[in-house]
Amino acid sequence: MATKFTTDDVTHIASLANIPVTDGEKKSLADGFTKTIGVVEELNKLDVSVVTAVHMTGLSNVLREDEVDKKRMFTQEQALANAPNTHNGYFVVDQLIEQDD
């Protein structure tokens, strides 16, 4: 039973992904996802009952000492240099949630 995507699914996923999509795009996106996921579902043929996932590197406990690394730190100017909207050293964004009070 292959997963079939509806335009409602696309709406929900787009909202989770914070990606704006137009109603016009939704149908073809849904069809594309259905097709791609169909290929993915081939994986169900494999027996993975005894397999676990592993981290790619085979490394463990790669930690840093608790030291301030000044040479890596930005000045305020560097931090803000690429921002489209700043104010008094802050990044600025339209208010998302109306504040109570």
46-82 b/e (C-beta count within 10 Å ≥ 16 → b): eeeeeeeeeeeeeeeeeeeeeeeeeeeeeeeeeebee
Q: Which is nearer to another protein, 23 or 62 (CB)?
A: 62
Taking CB under 8 A as the rule, does residue 62 contact another protein? yes
Q: Is 23 in the site for another protein (CB under 8 A)?
A: no
The footprint of another protein on residues 40-59 (CB under 8 A) is: 40-46, 48, 51-57, 59
Examine residue 26 and tell whether it contacts another protein (CB under 8 A): no
Among positions 1, 23, 24, 67, the unique one binding another protein when judged by CB under 8 A: 67
Of 23 and 87, which has the nearer Cβ to another protein? 87
What three-state secondary structure class fits 27?
Answer: helix
